[in-house]
């Protein structure tokens, strides 16, 4: 099979160098590869992907589609004897259409590059995972990536209009016409978004664009309790001034962030913190006045207005150091990604604080409060076996807690390898069975990313 691939794709496109295999065998989750792969294959076109899949299907060789490997769930990790299908060489922005407000891209395009190309035409690609400078559009679509702007613009799925997909047997399909409206069939586009490489290889993506927004401005507010901050966030969400970003930090995260970066600009005495931004082109001042009014009415102890881009960038930086700051508390951390209905967020925070006391490990929580998607971080000393065991037990308890509160074990990072049993529990046997049935239709021999997600 590799000989055939070398003949068709060229020598350079088929790599068996152990150092490259090791490098491409895992993502950023910290989970190890499940087994040693056969080769890294780097196609440059849909036809080449189709050939790889035809051969893999015929020879029963597993295939793991891969983007930039920034995933946080082990979804792109190697499995035994697999072809690691590295799609990063398919990196062309094929078209930006200012009439249809759409872009057509290959899967290896870096998210920030598409955003920059759209901005050059005064257009806007809204999805903004924090990994945008590295992650690929293919990876974003396959994980249905989120980010800080979802609260206004939705997740990656909301931007995707149509996909070209190579199926497990090498057939090439287009999931729908690229029109804004298309209800002629079952919604295969949505089915493929978030499928984590288990249902097909995404080889071309049509996304919707928007007119460029205005400059980002906003406020931060420190509160004397998490309850007050959550109530203010809920009122902002229910109001007419939809923010473009609405982020939260609890007391543990504020303390860890200040210890990590004393100049982070966070209020030292606050028990909770909100960041509320607007990117409205007109009447942004009304948005900001409304946010100030809401947080003040909920007893904010300190309100800062960030009117210039430098100040906004500083505030975003404070929120973005969540992981290194929490990591530094004890030397290691487990980062969760739960989502619950917004009305249960306070219960989530109370129960996390109780859990932290009970297990004796710090748990700090921050994240996308407007989406009900928070990232509790469990901190532990990696050199203390007791703490390591307790942290992993606590991780299971946090996932169970999300389900108990009517939510999910993953709001944006996905299942990959890491949360298979948790998603079994979340969905139950009936839904799991239905989903595996869909997989059987699209990939009857199970060559696509086996052992992940489903």
The site for ligand FAD, by CB under 6 A, has a size of 36
Q: Per CB under 6 A, does 28 bind ligand FAD?
A: yes
Q: Which of residues 142-181 bind ligand FAD (CB under 6 A)?
A: 142-143, 145-147
Binding flag, residue 312, ligand FAD (CB under 6 A): no
CB of 38 or CB of 300, closer to ligand FAD: 38
Q: Which is nearer to ligand FAD, 194 or 267 (CB)?
A: 194
Q: To the nearest whole angstrom, how small is the minimum distance from the Cβ of residue 76 to ligand FAD?
A: 4
Q: Is position 419 an interface residue for ligand FAD (rule: CB under 6 A)?
A: no
Q: Does position 450 bind ligand FAD by CB under 6 A?
A: no
d(CA 332, CA 375): 15
Q: What are phi and psi of 174, to 5 degrees?
A: -115, 130
Question: Binding string, 61-100, against ligand FAD, x = CB under 6 A?
Answer: ---xxxxxxxxx--xx----------x-------------
Q: Choose the stretch contacting ligand FAD; rule: CB under 6 A; options: 254-262, 346-354, 386-394, 412-420.
A: 412-420
Q: Least Å distance between CB 408 and ligand FAD?
A: 13
Under the criterion CB under 6 A, does residue 50 sit at the interface with ligand FAD?
no
Contact flag: residue 247 with ligand FAD (CB under 6 A): no
Rule CB under 6 A: choose which of 43, 62, 139, 255 binds ligand FAD: 139
The one among 129, 178, 243, 367 contacting ligand FAD by CB under 6 A: 129
Among positive and negative, which fits the CA dihedral 121, 125, 130, 133?
negative
Phi, psi of 188 (to 5 degrees): -70, -25
Does 364 interact with ligand FAD (rule: CB under 6 A)? no
Note whether 201 binds ligand FAD by CB under 6 A. yes
Of the candidates 89, 66, 253, the residue with the CA atom closest to the CA atom of residue 142: 66
- In the bound complex, what is the minimum distance in angstroms from residue 65's beta carbon to ligand FAD? 4
Residue 410's SS3 state is strand
Task: Decide if 413 contacts 72 (C-beta within 8 A).
Answer: yes
- Strands in 160-166's sheet, in edge-to-edge order, are 93-97, 102-105, 201-208, 160-166, 172-174
DSSP state of 370: G
Residues recorded for the chain: 454
Q: Interface residues for ligand FAD in 7-26 (CB under 6 A)?
A: none
One of 57, 319, 413, 439 touching ligand FAD (CB under 6 A): 413
- E strands, 241-301, are 245-250, 272-278
Q: Which is nearer to ligand FAD, 197 or 362 (CB)?
A: 197
Whose Cβ is closer to ligand FAD: residue 198's or residue 290's?
Answer: 198
Beta bridge partners of 226: none
Q: Which two tokens stand for residue 99?
A: 């009439």
Q: Is 131 a residue that touches ligand FAD (CB under 6 A)?
A: yes
Reference 107, options 22, 18, 204, 183; nearest CA is 204
CA distance 278 to 260: 28
DSSP, residue by residue, 310-341: HHHHHHHHHHHTHHHHHHHHHSEEEE-BEE--
- Please tell me whether residue 230 binds ligand FAD under the rule CB under 6 A: no
Cα(420)–Cα(433) distance, integer angstroms: 14
Is residue 382 classed as helix, strand or coil in its secondary structure?
Answer: coil
How many whole angstroms separate alpha carbon 131 and alpha carbon 126? 14
Among 43, 62, 138, 376, binds ligand FAD (CB under 6 A): 138
Residues that bind ligand FAD (CB under 6 A): 27-28, 64-72, 75-76, 87, 107, 129-131, 135-136, 138-140, 142-143, 145-147, 196-197, 201-202, 412-413, 416, 449
């Amino acid at each position: 099979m590799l000989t055939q691939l070398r003949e068709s794709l060229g020598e350079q496109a088929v790599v068996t160098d152990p150092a490259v295999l090791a490098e491409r065998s895992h993502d950023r989750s910290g989970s190890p590869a499940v087994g040693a792969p056969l080769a890294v294959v780097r196609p440059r076109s849909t036809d080449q992907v189709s050939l790889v899949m035809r051969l893999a299907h015929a020879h029963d060789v597993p295939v793991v589609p891969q983007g930039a490997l920034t995933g946080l769930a082990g979804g792109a990790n190697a499995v035994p004897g697999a072809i690691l299908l590295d799609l990063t060489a398919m990196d062309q922005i094929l078209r930006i259409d200012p009439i249809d407000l759409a872009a057509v891209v290959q899967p290896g395009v870096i998210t920030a590059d598409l955003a920059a190309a759209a901005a050059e035409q005064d257009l806007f690609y809204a999805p903004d995972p924090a990994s945008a400078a590295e992650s690929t559009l293919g990876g974003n679509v396959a994980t249905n990536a989120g980010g800080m702007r979802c609260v206004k613009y939705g997740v990656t799925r909301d931007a995707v209009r149509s996909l070209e997909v190579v199926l497990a047997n090498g057939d090439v399909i287009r999931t729908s016409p690229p029109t804004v409206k298309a209800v002629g069939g079952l919604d295969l586009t949505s089915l493929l978004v978030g499928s984590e490489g288990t249902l097909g290889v995404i080889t071309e993506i049509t996304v919707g664009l928007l007119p460029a927004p205005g400059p980002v401005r906003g406020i931060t507010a420190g509160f004397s309790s998490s309850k007050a901050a959550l109530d203010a966030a809920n009122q902002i969400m229910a109001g007419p001034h939809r923010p473009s970003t609405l982020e939260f930090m609890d007391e543990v995260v504020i303390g860890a962030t200040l210890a990590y970066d004393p100049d982070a600009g966070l209020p030292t005495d606050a028990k909770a913190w909100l960041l509320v931004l607007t990117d409205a082109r007109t009447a942004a001042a009304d948005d900001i006045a409304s946010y100030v009014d809401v947080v003040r009415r909920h007893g904010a102890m300190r309100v800062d207005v960030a009117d210039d881009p430098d100040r906004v960038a500083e505030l975003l930086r404070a929120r973005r150091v969540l992981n290194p700051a929490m990591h530094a508390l004890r030397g290691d951390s487990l980062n969760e990604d739960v989502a619950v209905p917004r009305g249960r967020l306070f219960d989530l925070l109370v129960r996390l604080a109780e859990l932290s006391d009970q297990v004796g490990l710090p748990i700090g929580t921050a994240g996308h409060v407007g989406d009900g998607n928070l990232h509790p971080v469990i901190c532990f000393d990696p050199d203390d076996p007791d703490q390591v065991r307790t942290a992993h037990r606590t991780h299971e308890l946090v996932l169970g807690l999300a389900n108990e509160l009517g939510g999910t074990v993953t709001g944006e990072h996905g299942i990959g390898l890491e949360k298979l049993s948790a998603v079994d529990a979340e969905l139950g046997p009936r839904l799991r069975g239905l989903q595996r049935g869909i997989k059987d239709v699209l990939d009857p021999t199970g060559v696509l990313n086996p052992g992940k997600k489903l």
